[in-house]
Amino acid sequence: MAELPVVFIFAFCAACFFGMIELAQAQNVTDPAEARVLNSIFQQWGQNASSGQWNISGELCSGKALDSNTIENFNPFIKCDCSQSSDNNQSTCHITELRVYALDVKGVIPEDLWTLTFLTNLNLAQNYLTGNLSASIGNLTRMQYLGFGSNNFSGSLPSELGNLVKLEQIYFDSSGLSGEIPSTFAKLQNLQIEVSRRISDVSNGSASLAFIKDMKSLTVLVLRNNNISDSIPSNIGEYQSLTQLDLSFNNITGQIPDSLFNLSSLTYLDLSYNNLVGSLPSWVSQQNLQLNLVVNNFTIDSSNSGALPSGLNCLQRSFPCNRGSGILLCLLVSTVFNGAFLAIEALEYITSSSGIVYESDSETLGPATYYVTNTNRWAVSNVGYFTGSNNPQYTTTSARQFTTLDSELFQTARISASSLRYYGLGLENGNYTVNLQFIETVIENPPSWRSLGRRVFDIYIQITSSSGIVYESDSETLGPATYYVTNTNRWAVSNVGYFTGSNNPQYTTTSARQFTTLDSELFQTARISASSLRYYGLGLENGNYTVNLQFIETVIENPPSWRSLGRRVFDIYIQGNRVSKDFDIRKEAGGVSYQPVLKEYNEIRVSENYLEIHLFWAGKGTCCIPTQGTYGPSISAISATPDFEPTVSNKPPSGKKNRTGLIVGIVVGAGVLSFLSLLVVFYIVQRRKQLPTKEDEGKPTIILHTSNRCQTLFSCGLSISQKETDITAI
C-alpha cells in the first residue's frame, strides 16, 4: 500500500511530461499559409529547408528556427516568432526572417513572397534573380532589414518601398535596378544604413537629396552614381550618427557646409567626381578621417595651402628636398620603439658595433600615412590595414637579447599590412651597397601552433642586367592615392581611388590559370584601380607610335552564376584623348572571362617626349560582384612602338650619354585633388638632353607588364623591358 502513491506520482509525472510535449508541439505550428508559400518558393528556386537544423519532421518553425541562432548562422534559413498569433492562443508561428543568400538562385521572385507580411528581415543578395521588383513589396510593412543587391533585376525601384517605414537598413547595390530613388524614401525616417552603390547606368533626368531631410538616424549613406543634382543639405551637421558618407559620381554643386565640422563620428567621406567649389577645407588633415575629394573645383592658394599635411612637399615634385648636388653619403635608419622611449621619447641615434650610426625611425604610422624627417634626410610611408584586428599595430617590440653584437637594433621593427617604403633623400648620385636587416619576433618557434605562421613578402630594388636590359619594378600594390616614378625617369604610374566596401582592398589581381595565348604569363597578373590609373612613358623621341593595350578579366566569372553578373566598365584615354568609351573587357572578349583582349591604337602622336595612357572609371558597371570592390580599370600589359626609325638610344641613361630634352608634368587626376588619410598632389619635372650616336640607333619599345613572379632578371610588380627591337614576349 505504501508503494501506491509512488505509482500514482510516476503516472502523473509521465502524463505531465507527454502533455507538455503535445503542448509544445501545438505551440510550434507554422502558419499553414506561410508554410505553403515558403515551400512553393523553395521548390521553384531549387532550395531545400535544412532538415535537422530547422524544418524538423516537416515543421518549418522548429529547431534552430526558434532558438537563439541568428539568421546569418545558416543558409538557407528562417527565423520564426510564435508570440504574434492573432487568436492569442500562442499556437501559430510566423516566419519573420528569411535568408537565401549567395546560392546562385535563378529565376524571378514569386509574387507569393510578398504575402509573408510578418517578415522583418529579408536577404536575397548575391543570386541570379531577374525580372522587376514588384510593387507588392510595399506589403512588408514590418520590414527592418532588406537586401537584394548583386542580382540581375530590371526596371526601377518601386515607390511602394516608401511604405516600409520601419526599415533600418536597405542594400540594393549592383541589383540591376536603374532610375531615380523614389521620393517616397523620405518616409523612411528610421533608416540607418542605405547602400545604393548601384554603379550602373542610371536613367536620364536627375534626383535630389530631399528625401534624406529627416533621416537623422543614418549611420551609413552611400549614394554613388545616382545622378543626383543637388547641394549637400545645410543641416548635414544634425546627422550626428553618420560614420560613412559617399556621394561620389553625382552632380553635387555648391560648397561643403561648415556644419560638416559637427560630425564627430564621421570617419569616411567621399565627395569625389562632383562639382563642388570653394576653398580647400581647412579640415582635410583632420585626424581619423578618410577623405576623397578628387575631381571637384576647389581652390588652393596661399590662404589655405596650410591645409596640406606638413612634409608632403618632399614626396611630390620628384622628391625636391635636398635635390641637386647631393648632400648625403648614406641612408642609415633603424626603428626604435621599445622601453621608455615608446610613449614620448625616442633614441635619435644608435651606433652599431661596426661604428655605423643609425638614425632612429620612431614615428607612429597608421594604415595610410607617411613621415618625412625635419632634416629631409629620409622618409617612410605605409599603406595597408590589418583587417581582423581591433587595435592594429604597425611596430613590434621584443625585450629579448639576440645572438648578435647589435641586439638593440632588432628589439623593434616596423611592420606593414601591405606596402612599406623607405626613401633616402638628398643622396649623392652613384652606386650604393644596400643592407637590410630582419628578425622574426612575433611568430614563435615550434612546437606550438603559434609557430605555424609565415610572414612572406617581396623586396623591390632596381635590377639592371649585364646585357643592358633594364627591369624596373613598381610595387605590386599601389595605395589608394599613390604614384611611382622610376629612378631613371623612364616611366611612371599613378593610382587614385579607394575600393569602398572592401575590408582589405588590393590593387593587383593574380590568376594561376593558363590562358589561350602564347603569352599566357602576361595575363596572370593585372593592375587594377578604383578610379584613375595612369601610365607614363618618359623620354620618348617625338613622333607617331603604335600603342597596344592588353586586358583580361579573371575576377568576374563566366555564367551561369551570380558571380558572372559583374561588369567592369571604364574609359581609355591616350594623350588626353578618349579612344574607348565604356570599355568592357568581357564584352570585347565575346561575353566571356579568361579570354585575352588586345586593343591597338595607331598613329598616337608624341610631341613633348612623353606618352600618357589613362584608364578612368566613370562610375559605370557593377561594384560588388563577385566581391566588394570589383570595379574600375584593369590592365595586364602595355607596349608602345615607334612608327619611325628612332635616332636616339634606348639604353639606360649614364654619365657618358645625354638624352632627349623633356619636361613632364604628372598630376594625379589632372587638375584634381585626391584625399584619403593621405593626400597626394604631385608634379614631376625632369630634364634630359640628347646626343645621338650611330651605335645608339635602334627601335625602342616600352613594355609594361604586371608580374608578381621573381626570376633571374625579372623584378616582381610592374616591369619594363626596353630593347632596341620591336616588342617581344617577356
- 210-235 pLDDT, tens per residue? 888 888 888 888 888 778 889 999 88
In a domain, 148, yes or no: no
Q: Same domain for 639 and 495?
A: yes
Determine the average pLDDT of the residues in 689-713: 32
Q: pLDDT above 90 covers what percent of the chain?
A: 21
Grade residue 682 by pLDDT with cuts at 50, 70 and 90.
Answer: very low
What amino acid occupies position 156? S
Cα–Cα distance, 285 to 693 (Å, whole number): 51
pLDDT at residue 482 is higher than 90 = no
Q: 567 with 504: CB under 8 angstroms?
A: no
Does residue 491 sit in the same domain as residue 451?
Answer: no
Residues 692 and 547 in one domain: yes
Mean per-residue pLDDT, 148-174: 90
Look at residues 456, 476, 491 and tell me which one is the last residue of a structural domain.
Answer: 456
Q: Are 574 and 604 in contact (CB under 8 A)?
A: yes
Give per-residue burial for 576-613: e unless 16+ CB within 10 Å, then b. Answer: eeebbeebbbbeebeeebbbbbebebeebebeebbbbb
pLDDT at 648: 67
Residue 76 in grid coordinates? 538557407
pLDDT in tens, 40-57: 999 999 998 766 788 887
Please report which helix (H) or strand (E) contains residue 45, including its range.
helix 32-45
**pLDDT per residue as tens digits for the range 272-290:** 888 998 876 666 555 567 7
For residue 41, what pLDDT is reported? 95
- Among residues 438, 456, 474, the one where a domain terminates is 456
For every residue of 436-487, DSSP letters joined together read: ------SSPPSSSGGG-----------EE-TTS-EE-PBPSS--TEEEEE-T
What pLDDT score was predicted for residue 421? 80
CA pair distance 51, 74, nearest whole angstrom: 12
Q: Are residues 317 and 338 in the same domain?
A: yes
Within-domain flag for 166: no
Judged against a pLDDT cut of 60, whether residue 339 lies above it is answered with no
What's residue 249's pLDDT? Answer: 82
pLDDT of amino acid 331: 44
Number of domains the chain contains: 2
pLDDT in tens, 141-159: 999 999 998 888 999 899 9
Of 435, 456, 477, the one marking the end of a domain is 456
- For residue 235, is it within any domain? no
Q: Which residue has the cell 532588406?
A: 146
| Range in 259-263, 304-308, 659-663 the model is least confident about | 659-663
Q: Are residues 403 and 435 in the same domain?
A: yes
Question: Does residue 643 share a domain with residue 698?
Answer: yes
Position 160 pLDDT exceeds 70: yes
Query: Rounded to whole angstroms, how far apart are CA atoms 525 and 360?
Result: 37
Ordered alpha helix ranges (H), 465-598: 585-588
pLDDT exceeds 80 at position 586 = yes
Q: Are residues 402 and 496 in the same domain?
A: no
Full DSSP string of 563-574: GG---BEEEEEE
Beta bridge partners of 706: 718
Residue 422 domain-assigned (yes or no): yes
Question: When comparing pLDDT for 372 and 713, which is higher?
Answer: 372
Together in a domain, 485 and 430: no
Report how far residue 609's alpha carbon sits from residue 642's, in angstroms, rounded to the nearest whole number: 12
**5 or 44, higher pLDDT:** 44
Residues 583 and 681 in one domain: yes
Which residues touch 416 (CB under 8 Å, ≥6 apart)? 382, 383, 384, 394
If one compares 505 and 79, the residue with the highest pLDDT of the two is 79
Q: Which three cell numbers stand for residue 412?
A: 623593434
**In-domain check, residue 28:** no
Among 96-100, 114-118, 663-667, 702-706, the minimum mean pLDDT is found in: 663-667
Is residue 674 predicted with pLDDT exceeding 50?
no
Element (H, E) at 14: helix 4-27
The per-residue pLDDT for 573 is 95
Compute CA distances 364 → 291, 338, 509, whole Å.
Answer: 20, 13, 30
The predicted pLDDT at position 86 comes to 55
Q: Is 183 helix (H, G, I), strand (E, B) or coil?
A: helix
Distance CA(289)–CA(575), nearest Å, equals: 35
Torsion, Cα 42 567 159 236, to 10 degrees, reads 120
pTM, full prediction: 0.52
Residue 531 and residue 518: Cα distance in Å, rounded? 31
d(CA 270, CA 225): 12
Cell of residue 54, nine digits: 530547422
- The pLDDT of residue 487 is 62
When pLDDT is averaged across residues 490-495 and rounded to a whole number, the result is: 80
Residue 10 has what pLDDT?
Answer: 57
Beta bridge partners of 231: 253
Tell me whether the omega of the peptide bond preceding residue 447 falls within 30 degrees of 0, making it cis.
yes
Reference 724, options 700, 702, 693; nearest CA is 700
Contacts of 112 (CB under 8 A, 6+ apart): 37, 40, 41
Domain range enclosing 559: 464-730
For residue 112, pLDDT beyond 70: yes
Confidence grade of residue 6 (pLDDT, cut at 50, 70, 90) = low
User: How many other C-beta atoms can be found within 10 angstroms of the C-beta atom of residue 425?
Assistant: 21
Report if residue 302 sits inside a domain: no
pLDDT at 184 over 80: yes
Same domain as 476, residue 446: no
Q: What is the pLDDT of residue 492?
A: 81
Q: Is the pLDDT confidence value at 8 over 60? A: no
To 5 degrees, how large is the angle CA 491–CA 495–CA 500?
Answer: 165
Residue with cell 542594400: 171
Judgement on whether residues 531 and 650 belong to the same structural domain of the protein: yes
Mean pLDDT of the region 135-140: 96
What residues contact residue 109 under an 8 Å CB cut-off, 6+ apart?
A: 124, 129, 131, 133, 134
Looking at the domain assignment, is residue 647 inside a domain? Answer: yes
Q: What cell was used for 42?
A: 523553395
- 251-255, 373-377, 412-416, 712-716: range with lowest mean pLDDT: 712-716
Do 447 and 540 sit in the same domain of this protein? Answer: no
Can you tell me the distance from the alpha carbon of 100 to that of 42, in angstroms, rounded to the nearest whole number? Answer: 9
Which comes out higher in pLDDT, residue 327 or 690? Answer: 327
Q: What percent of the chain has pLDDT over 70?
A: 66
Question: What is the pLDDT, as a whole number, of residue 349?
Answer: 56
User: What is the chain's mean pLDDT, rounded?
Assistant: 72
The residues, ordered by sequence, that sit 6+ positions from 623 with a Cβ below 8 Å of its Cβ are 173, 174, 197, 198, 199, 224, 501, 629, 630, 631
Residue 443: pLDDT band (50, 70, 90) is confident
The arithmetic mean of pLDDT across residues 548-576, rounded, is 90
The three grid cell numbers given for residue 546, joined into one nine-digit string:
603604335
Return the pLDDT at 304.
Answer: 55
DSSP annotation of 43 reads H
- Other beta carbons less than 10 A from residue 488's beta carbon: 19
Q: Is residue 193 part of a domain?
A: no
Task: Please report the pLDDT score of residue 24 as a whole number.
Answer: 45
More confident: 693 or 166: 166
Q: Give the 3-state secondary structure of residue 300.
A: coil
